[in-house]
Amino acid sequence: MVAALANEGSISRAAQRLTLPQPSLTMQLRRIESALGGPLFVRSNSGISPTVLGERIIPLMVELAARADQIASESSSVSAGVIRVATAEWTPVGLRSELAERLPDVELQTVTLEAALCVQAVSDDAHTACVVPCEEAEDPVRGATADLVSEVIFREPMWLAVPAGHPLAEAELADRARLHSLTWVRHRHGHWFHVMEQKFFGKLELVAPEVVHHAAGQAEVMSWVTGAGAAALVSPTGPLTSGVALVPPEDAVWRKVLLVSRRGAVSPDRLRGIADAVRENYCVLARRVPAYWTWLRCHRGEVRELEDHLDAVASTG
């Protein structure tokens, strides 16, 4: 809290960053200053700045807080025998194997949740960590009631799914003109992927695409691609169906996939193990789609989080 005040130079901005009511933050600061015997900050019209006492005490308090987080993390790494990992919409079977290999000393539990519930489950301490997708500009951790941290596991371009016999099925790139002529199956309103579709159609300047159905997830989307001959925007590594071809579209939109956990609740080594397991499994799934696998290896600079894992999976033959 004190570090946030010092960094922001404003009680209102610090309260916003900490998602606390400003009066509550002011009251906590007064209690700390009372316990220390003097003010840590001087107030002015332009904000707050450290007093002489604050300049000496604040760095020590920040260091103490960091050590407390480290102690909590180390303690959890020894005493916590269960790791619960939530993933959004779909949990590949191979992901559990990758997780188990990297976390051999714990009881591993995995669960699939709606994307909107994943972060809340971690915030409520019902799960240790979650793997959650979102649009690139989105921050699902912002506004959480708990102190959550996140890191980007990987970024991924969304590709076009069409029936295998469709004229676009063999195309190297689906251009804007041909995309405008398609009939679409979309994700339902409220689904996190609906935002991705909106962004994609906006880039295409496609105001009112012809939509035959709004689906609950990618598995259902794929059944409509094959059954109704519709096109769809999909993750190349999501649930796939035979009889579907994936093609990179012009003006592709990207998603990011985050690993979210409570600050200090999981040791850095275990978080690294979870992230590496997801990346490795992602590359295994990507290799199922030859065109996408080739694209990934040719565009390594755009997927830097995956570079080491691309090489590892490629070396397995």
Domain range annotation of the chain: 2-77, 80-156+255-314, 159-252
- The two domains 2-77 and 80-156+255-314 share their CATH topology (first three levels equal): no
CA dihedral 310, 313, 315, 317 (to 10 degrees): -130
Q: Tell me how far apart the alpha carbons of residues 152 and 299 are, in angstroms, rounded to a whole number.
A: 18
pLDDT in tens, 239-288: 988 999 999 999 999 999 999 999 988 899 999 999 999 999 999 999 99
- Between 138-152, 213-227, 231-245, the lowest mean confidence (pLDDT) is in 138-152
Provide the pLDDT for residue 78: 43
Closest CA to 117 of 99, 131, 136: 131
Provide the pLDDT for residue 75: 52
Q: Tell me how far apart the alpha carbons of residues 162 and 40 are, in angstroms, rounded to a whole number.
A: 63
| Phi, psi (degrees; rounded to nearest 5) at 231 | -105, 160
pLDDT in tens, 11-70: 888 887 777 788 888 888 888 888 888 999 898 888 899 999 988 888 888 888 777 665
What is the average per-residue pLDDT within 87-112? 93
Provide the pLDDT for residue 12: 87
Provide the pLDDT for residue 72: 55
Residues 113/87, Cβ–Cβ less than 8 Å: yes
Provide the pLDDT for residue 77: 46
What is the average per-residue pLDDT within 221-249? 95
Split at pLDDT 50, 70, 90, the class of 79 is very low
| Phi, psi (degrees; rounded to nearest 5) at 215 | -100, 165
CATH T-level topology, domain 80-156+255-314: D-Maltodextrin-Binding Protein; domain 2 (3.40.190)
With a threshold of 0.85, does the pTM exceed it?
no
Q: Which residues contact 84 (CB under 8 A, 6 or more apart)?
A: 109, 110, 111, 126, 127, 128, 129
Cα angle at 75 between 69 and 80, to 5 degrees? 120
CATH architecture of 2-77: Orthogonal Bundle (1.10)
159-252 maps to CATH 3.40.50.1820: no
Residue type present at position 239: P
Provide the pLDDT for residue 111: 95
pLDDT in tens, 106-165: 899 999 999 889 999 999 889 999 999 999 988 888 877 778 999 999 999 999 999 999
